[in-house]
Amino acid sequence: MDNRDEVSAFLKSRRAKITPEQAGLPVYGQRRVPGLRRAEVAALAGVSVEYYTRVERGNLGGVSDSVLDALAQALRLNDIERDHLYALARAANSGPARVRHRRKKAVVRPSVLRLIEGLHDQPAYLRNNRMDILAANPLARALHCEVFEVEPVNTCRFAFLDPRATRFYVDWERISRAAVGVLRVEAAKHPYDRELSNLIGELSTRSDAFRTMWGAHDVHVYTDGTKRFHHPAVGNMELVHEMLDLPGENGLSVTVYSADPGTPAADALKLLASWAATQHQAAAQAEGEN
């Protein structure tokens, strides 16, 4: 695959983030550009300037794992960035470019649905690598009620294309940057995924914020953490989330939100459950009248 532009932009962006002081290098005179020079990265990685220049121009073809490790160390890449560099190298060495394809539609196992539905007091949903929500329990639907108003249900599309997102996600910029980083990781892993590239293209075209964040070439992987929401009916709530990858299901994961007992967040979850039950009852009554 010819991903030279992607490789070049990623390496340049990482090089620009490191100061000579951070790398333990002496500084002489004024520097015209931020970060390290190519020659400095080459010296830190133990390769020639000519070789590193070729790599930074996007040519990862035939680059050994030992050189990739040396570059990762020289550029002070974290584990996620290092894995991303390896994914770019695999794509660069995968042979002639192939026609982009649609990945097979994910089939949600009944056992996974039962797992999600069984979490009565915790919002839980199943998503794919494009951040489409494929299944959700009632509490997750209530928490993301505005997200579920538009098909396909996609949290990244909501974050960047729905004006309500900046109110719903209290830390909108942090969450949005993380979402962009996740998409960049997935794009490197699945360079021929047509639906993924279509989503990235749509967001790049329709959202200035997405386009700017995409250009930063930052990468991210969801694990656990805290998110703050402002729900339209319940108000502010701060919830802990866990991301659980499903073994054998490429790109599928379960997200579960929870709160410590006796905290305001736990009270907010109870209020959310009550609101959801009221909404469900009202909808059932309206359907019965029709």
Residues 46 and 179 in one domain: no
- CA angle, 59 then 209 then 251, to 5°: 60
Count CB atoms within 10 A of the CB of residue 2: 13
Q: CA 155, CA 22: separation in Å to the nearest integer? A: 36
Q: Are residues 10 and 126 in the same domain?
A: no
259 near 266, Cβ under 8 Å? yes
List of residues 6+ apart from 239 with CB closer than 8 A: 123, 226, 227, 228, 229, 257, 258, 259, 265, 269
- What pLDDT sits at residue 26? 83
Quick: pLDDT tens for 65-74: 999 999 999 9
Asked if 119 contacts 31 with a C-beta cutoff of 8 angstroms, the reply is: no
Containing H/E element for 21? helix 20-23
Give burial (CB, 10 Å; 0-12/13-18/19+) of 186: buried
Domain that holds residue 194: 110-289
The per-residue pLDDT for range 131-175, each reduced to its tens digit, is: 999 999 999 999 999 999 998 999 999 999 999 999 999 999 999
- 80, 219 in Cβ contact below 8 A? yes
Decide: pTM greater than 0.85. Answer: yes
The reply to whether 157 and 21 lie within a common domain is no
Count CB atoms within 10 A of the CB of residue 194: 13
* Same domain, residue pair 80 and 120: no
Average pLDDT of the chain, as a whole number: 91
The reply to whether 183 and 57 lie within a common domain is: no
Residue 102: inside a domain: no
Query: How would residue 100 be classed by pLDDT, with cut points 50, 70 and 90?
Result: low
127 and 31 in one domain? no
Q: Please tell me the distance from the alpha carbon of residue 63 to that of residue 49, in angstroms, as a whole number.
A: 15
Yes or no: say if 154 and 130 are a contact pair by the CB < 8 Å rule. yes
Q: For position 60, which CATH number holds?
A: 1.10.260.40
**In a shared domain, residues 152 and 243:** yes
Q: Quick one: average pLDDT of 43-53? A: 96
Of the listed ranges 42-51, 232-241, 246-255, 276-285, the one predicted with least confidence: 276-285
Residue 262 CA to residue 271 CA, distance in Å, equals 13
pLDDT tens-digit readout, 177-215: 999 999 999 999 998 899 999 999 999 999 999 999 999
